[in-house]
Amino acid sequence: MVETDTMDPTGTGSPPEPQAWPTATPRKRKTSFWTRKTNLPTYEVVGPLHRLDYRLLSNARSELNPGSEQYNAFYKMYPELEEYDKKLRPFVTEEQKERQKESLFGEEALALALNNACRIDHFLSREAEGPVNPRRVIMTPEKAARTIKGVARHLGADLVGIARINPAWVYTHSRVNTDGLRIGNPIPLDQPYGVVMAVAYHDFDMLLAGRGISLVGNIETDHIVFCLGAVLGVRMTSFIRNLGYNASYRGGRVQAVPLAVDAGLGEVGRAGMLNTKKYGPAIRLVTVTTDLPMAPDGPVDIGVKDLCRKCKKCAEVCPVGAITDRDEQENVRGVKLWPVDGEKCWRHRAAMGSDCACFYCLSACCWTKPQNILHWGIAEMVARSSLARTLFAWLDDVLYGHQPRQHKLPVWLRYSDEKPALKERISRFLHHV
């Protein structure tokens, strides 16, 4: 089960609710040259916003148990999806995924073992639901924000930001049984603040080998989301509850990407993922919602929309055409975005028996680079100059290739001691500078 970190994960939209959230009032944008903080969100609201039913996510639908109460309630609401989902369900059973994994990496016993050692979130989930301390610690919102961000970094978050939650980003119904909610229960709007943390992909050897549907992709995603992310989410939730406030992590109460934009972590890119200045889209988001009052961070303008208009690399490498290469954005449930066909993306993964994204869009992105002074310098220029964005998109093709190069498993994870071929060693070197 992987939460898809895109702004429009299903591409299907959701039925309108009686209450529509108001559109943003247009004001003049003011952006600080140094911090890139801006006074308006970097997505354009062009119509009424409606809350999304989390159960509409393709992978959430695949987890509904045929014949169960939740299954019947869901397909009574969305009968048009039942036939379609029935055909796909046999491809996404746990047994099918296991078979697929074994066939993909039958010879690679070390990688298979590491993958199977990745999921710790199930064991941690109980910890995320502890009691709230009756002795509440009182702080100013500014002090609370500083504390929460300090704790997030201490716990291992690579990026952290705080937002007051736009109710339109809160899902309508729960897709999991947690935090006192059962699948299908309405999600209350009782936690108005969001702590958004990002865990970055630091291991470039794994990232390069993870392109395409592969066990490495599974290992990396599971490692980042279900191990590092789970520890971060559970401990932050537990910390806030010990301060005497409510907090939720595993409920998946809120859409992570728009909340992360509001919290100033980055902007939405063409592939629907969050693009951050430092790590590009090579991150996974961990969100904790709470009623602890905190001073919010503002959004940032780092030039993502302009770069994505010029680059289009993710659209060109996507094997199933789920990402559009059009210049103009469209109205996607009230927000101007490049639409991403979440169903196509998920079907591609499901057909391969995999939970994880195929990594082509993520690893091809010209913003996904190893961390060094060269890339930090380029990212700062890209955030400020349209000319730098044009040059950057072109240079990335020249240096790293238009199509991502496929690498094999890192040497330490290969069963055989065979050394990588010269071509692969050169490619690895190029991707490390």
**Considering only residues 360, 369, 413, 428, which one is a binding residue for ligand SF4 as defined by CB under 6 A?**
360
**Considering only residues 308, 335, 379, 382, which one is a binding residue for ligand SF4 as defined by CB under 6 A?**
308
When the beta carbons of 118 and 320 are compared against ligand SF4, the nearer one is 320
364 counts as binding ligand SF4 under rule CB under 6 A: yes
404 counts as binding ligand SF4 under rule CB under 6 A: no
3-state secondary structure of 106: coil
Nearest to 404 by CA among 283, 282, 222, 309: 282
11 counts as binding ligand SF4 under rule CB under 6 A: no
Nearest to 358 by CA among 346, 370, 369, 366: 346
**What is d(CA 406, CA 103) in angstroms, rounded to the nearest whole number?**
19
311 counts as binding ligand SF4 under rule CB under 6 A: yes
- Tell me the β-bridge partners of 193: 164, 290
318 counts as binding ligand SF4 under rule CB under 6 A: yes
257 counts as binding ligand SF4 under rule CB under 6 A: no
Which one of the spans 152-160, 181-189, 263-271, 290-298 is the region binding ligand SF4 (CB under 6 A)?
263-271
When the beta carbons of 124 and 314 are compared against ligand SF4, the nearer one is 314
Nearest to 303 by CA among 392, 195, 214: 392
When the beta carbons of 164 and 344 are compared against ligand SF4, the nearer one is 344
3-state secondary structure of 231: helix
- Two tokens, residue 108: 């690679």
**Considering only residues 157, 256, 300, 323, which one is a binding residue for ligand SF4 as defined by CB under 6 A?**
323
Which one of the spans 17-25, 88-96, 147-155, 360-368 is the region binding ligand SF4 (CB under 6 A)?
360-368
- CB of 279: closest distance to ligand SF4 in angstroms? 12
When the beta carbons of 70 and 255 are compared against ligand SF4, the nearer one is 255
Site size with ligand SF4, rule: CB under 6 A? 25
**What is d(CA 427, CA 270) in angstroms, rounded to the nearest whole number?**
26
With residue 197 as reference, give the H or E element that holds it.
strand 193-200
Nearest to 254 by CA among 198, 173, 182: 173
User: Which amino acid, one-letter code, is at 135?
Assistant: R
Which value, to the nearest 10 degrees, does the dihedral of the CA atoms of residues 64, 66, 68, 74 take?
60
When the beta carbons of 261 and 271 are compared against ligand SF4, the nearer one is 271
Q: How many residues does the chain have?
A: 433
3-state secondary structure of 306: helix
**Considering only residues 7, 112, 357, 409, which one is a binding residue for ligand SF4 as defined by CB under 6 A?**
357
Tell me which residues touch ligand SF4 (CB under 6 A): 269-271, 275, 307-308, 311-314, 318-320, 322-323, 345, 348, 357-358, 360-361, 364-367
